[in-house]
Structure 1
């Protein structure tokens, strides 16, 4: 047994409810055993027998709670066990002495007169032990306190195990959240730098309206990308809005792309990891649109397949040239890591050339905004 932290006890100083009920149950059984023992071994009125057993059961419950409190003082397991053993011995001794005193007072009050009990033995010590056992409930007390000590040790160990598991789970959650935040915030610095350079060029060319529009779109894009820590999942509609902000910036910069959406009706509230699609679209812009002389189409599609949501980002250029490096880029690797952290093996990313283009398909369990899950 190890000492628990203060959080394992109630704020009012009492032991936790399982310990309270354990002590109450033990001493309720103990009261029955004391009554039965009195009926079987002592010639005293039933009223005295029951009243004595009731008082001793209440006292045993109080002593048991004190015993629990004593066992929590020690900081190390071995000292806690020693404190519990000493506490059991002390509680049994004190309880037995009080039991004899209460019996004497009750007999004098409710059954006055001479009471003689004869014990024959060739040993003074043996006679004293036999008299103690006959006149008191010492055997019942010792048994119940020992049982309470063992049971409370088990309860304490179980509570500490749950607490350690909760702390470990919380630490893992924090670690996963930190890693997810790091992966989300690995934006391509070249995109930001190029956008700022494009804004500076627009200002130099006195295209203030275009520069203002581009600043507004960049602000919206960064707000969406950097503000997702509080919501690791976003709806598909929100992700499409973020993508549109990003592509509007690319369009102002002169990228030759055409964006097409092909979303199955009813999937607008489907949940996917926030900011997951932007790296896939950015990958298409970088490797397919930028090197192209003519327009390149980037198509984002979403379909429900069984109990899963499949979102695909496909472009129409440079697929063969990217075939050898398929799936090895930083953006694709980060997407895979995020999926693994959030879904384990229940999600996947498949990326590779298809015809003259390149396709990346994300598959995640289908969940919708507002679901209990």
Structure 2
């Protein structure tokens, strides 16, 4: 407002050569009234209940407030400078009302449209934030659903095996129940974690494989090779469905021992896990095989917005699954160096 006051004073004193006292009165009163008018425009635009046709509403408000402002300026100045000595100024004031109205209307219109634009922008930001929050909740819900689908699938198989072992090998059934209890307890503890150290994931996987070993005995052999991955981290419950898939492909229709190789290493900024298992290309896989791969693929997309983090390759009788997990700590360590 100080800028408007200075401009008003400069125009009256330079262009119209008015006396100093009249220039001061006119500038101060006009600027104060205009200030209240601008404040009123902003409040009226903010109080508008919607953003539909808000620009048109702001233009009408600016027109109305401009008329009231000029009228108030005229009445206040005429009342304040009512002495006969100011008769010539009052005549001049009446003649300049159209010009005053035009200047005030242009400024009020600018203020009104800016206020309408800001209200529109705030509404769009709010709507965008609501959509972002809804998308985040939907993503979290889908991730939770995918994680929950994995455990029942494995649990059903384990319970069926326990049921079969109760009559023929009660000791093994009891052992499997104990391992299953420990496994499920550790699953609950990890449920709320977004990322966990690779060592914790491998400990969890070994508990899972201990249960599977009770089911399949010496037929199941899983070899781990790990190279310089102590600081790596992975989303929990991501490796289990891949191993479950490898066990199904490798053991289905096979009566002998099956060896599954798990290689874990860093490749650039990625933690790369490679799972290799034998399979019979002519053998029809068991019903439900492949759910784990699809679930992992979807989880990776939701977590990293990428579709190239899971690969599968078939080479004769060997099936290979390659999982890649981006590692944030690699970039931070590079920056510190």
TM range (shorter): 0.7 to 0.9
8 A Cα contact 2:226 2:263, kept in partner? yes
Which residue of the other structure, out of 68, 78, 93, is the alignment partner of 2:67? 93
What is the CA–CA distance in structure 1 between the aligned matches of 2:32 and 2:225, rounded to whole Å? Answer: 74
How big is each residue's C-alpha offset from its partner over 1:191-216, in whole Å with a ceiling of 9 and x where there is no partner?
31232244456666553862552242
Confirm or deny that 1:279 pairs with 2:203. no
Which residue of the other structure, out of 127, 140, 144, is the alignment partner of 1:164? 127
> Residues 305 and 58 of structure 1: is their aligned pair in 2 closer, same or farther, counting only changes over 3 Å?
farther
What is the CA–CA distance in structure 1 between the aligned matches of 2:206 and 2:123, rounded to whole Å? Answer: 51
The CA deviation at 1:174 is: 2.2
> Residues 50 and 322 of structure 1: is their aligned pair in 2 closer, same or farther, counting only changes over 3 Å?
farther
The CA deviation at 1:35 is: 1.4
Q: What corresponds to 1:45 in structure 2?
A: 20
What is the CA–CA distance in structure 2 between the aligned matches of 1:323 and 1:357, rounded to whole Å? Answer: 15
Confirm or deny that 1:295 pairs with 2:295. no
- Partner of 2:150, secondary structure, is coil
Q: Please report the TM-score for the alignment, with normalisation by the length of structure 1.
A: 0.74
> Residues 321 and 66 of structure 1: is their aligned pair in 2 closer, same or farther, counting only changes over 3 Å?
farther
- Structure number with the higher helix fraction is 2
Which residue of the other structure, out of 123, 132, 140, is the alignment partner of 2:97? 132
How big is each residue's C-alpha offset from its partner over 1:274-294, in whole Å with a ceiling of 9 and x where there is no partner?
311111100111121354333
The CA deviation at 1:368 is: 3.4
Confirm or deny that 1:264 pairs with 2:227. yes
The CA deviation at 1:45 is: 1.7
The CA deviation at 1:361 is: 0.2
8 A Cα contact 2:46 2:119, kept in partner? no
> Residues 246 and 221 of structure 1: is their aligned pair in 2 closer, same or farther, counting only changes over 3 Å?
farther
Q: What corresponds to 1:114 in structure 2?
A: 85
What is the CA–CA distance in structure 2 between the aligned matches of 1:69 and 1:329, rounded to whole Å? Answer: 61
- Partner of 2:295, secondary structure, is helix
Q: Please report the TM-score for the alignment, with normalisation by the length of structure 2.
A: 0.80
The CA deviation at 1:132 is: 2.4
Q: Note the 1:1-373 alignment, pairs <5 A.
A: 27-39=1-13, 40-41=15-16, 43-45=18-20, 49-50=23-24, 52-77=26-51, 80-104=54-78, 107=81, 114-117=85-88, 130-133=95-98, 137-187=100-150, 189=152, 191-200=154-163, 207=171, 210-211=175-176, 213-220=178-185, 222-223=187-188, 228=191, 230-255=192-217, 256-265=219-228, 267-315=229-277, 317-318=278-279, 320-321=281-282, 329-345=290-306, 347-354=308-315, 356-368=317-329
What is the CA–CA distance in structure 2 between the aligned matches of 1:92 and 1:156, rounded to whole Å? Answer: 21
- Partner of 2:85, secondary structure, is coil
- Partner of 1:186, secondary structure, is helix
The CA deviation at 1:147 is: 0.9
> Residues 294 and 145 of structure 1: is their aligned pair in 2 closer, same or farther, counting only changes over 3 Å?
same
The CA deviation at 1:106 is: 5.0
What is the CA–CA distance in structure 1 between the aligned matches of 2:133 and 2:166, rounded to whole Å? Answer: 49
How big is each residue's C-alpha offset from its partner over 1:13-32, in whole Å with a ceiling of 9 and x where there is no partner?
xxxxxxxxxxxxxx444323
How many residue pairs end up in the alignment? 327
What is the CA–CA distance in structure 2 between the aligned matches of 1:167 and 1:186, rounded to whole Å? Answer: 28
Alignment gaps of 5+ in structure 1: 1-26, 121-126
8 A Cα contact 2:41 2:111, kept in partner? no
